[in-house]
Amino acid sequence: MRDGIVIRPARAEDGEAIDQVIRAAFASTEFGHQGEAELLRMIEADGDVMVSLVAEADGVAVGHVLFSQMDVEADGRAIAAAGLAPVSVVPDRQGQGVGDALIRAGLNALRDQGVAMSFVLGHESYYPRFGYSPDLAARFASPFAGPHFMAMMLDSNAAWPQGGRADYARAFGRLG
């Protein structure tokens, strides 16, 4: 990746650096820190991590993305699905493609694992560039249903399910 950014799987020793990235990224938003670092720790403790990637510049963590296991039923059968959250980039690296690279690398890792779908709760003008669609997510009953709830098929040739339900990892329900 440009500017010397390297995307790699997160390691156990990255915990504190990832926590700092998340806190810095969300402190700089209009919403402020809303528990994303705590969410990550709960997902890890529950064993629901599917993909966790770090973006590094000169050996320093500048970004992180997490995809966690979801409980999804589509057209009457359980399917492998992952929820994207959180994605974090330190403020001085935002707008430089780091988040984009993390998300794309994470989606590729999910495809390699044979995961069928991914869901995200996020900004409706940002996530469609990756293939996320509010129209697909609207077919699924979820506590997060609404205009910011989006889904994508990880195999672009796969037919969209007619409907079902989508539940995020257990930690999302415990987040205060």
pLDDT at res. 34: 58
pLDDT at site 35: 81
Per-residue model confidence (pLDDT) at position 174: 83
Name the DSSP letter for residue 13: G
What pLDDT digit, counting tens, does each position of 110-141 carry?
999 999 999 999 999 999 999 999 999 999 99
- Give the span between the Cα atoms of 79 and 49, in whole angstroms: 16
Question: What domains are there in the chain, each with its CATH number?
Answer: 2-170 (3.40.630.30)
Closest CA to 77 of 168, 165, 153, 142: 165
Q: How confident is the model at residue 2 (pLDDT cuts 50, 70, 90)?
A: low
Environment class of 112 (CB within 10 Å of its CB; exposed 0-12, middle 13-18, buried 19+): exposed
The mean per-residue pLDDT over the stretch 10-33 comes to 83
Cα distance between residue 20 and residue 14, in whole Å: 10
Please count the CA atoms within 13 angstroms of the CA of 145 that sit on its side-chain side: 12
3-class SS of residue 155: coil
| Alpha-carbon gap, residue 98 to 94, rounded angstroms | 7
The span from the CA of 151 to the CA of 139, in Å, is 10
Highest mean pLDDT among 29-33, 64-68, 171-175: 64-68
Q: Which residue has the tokens 């989006």?
A: 150
| pTM for this model (two decimals) | 0.93
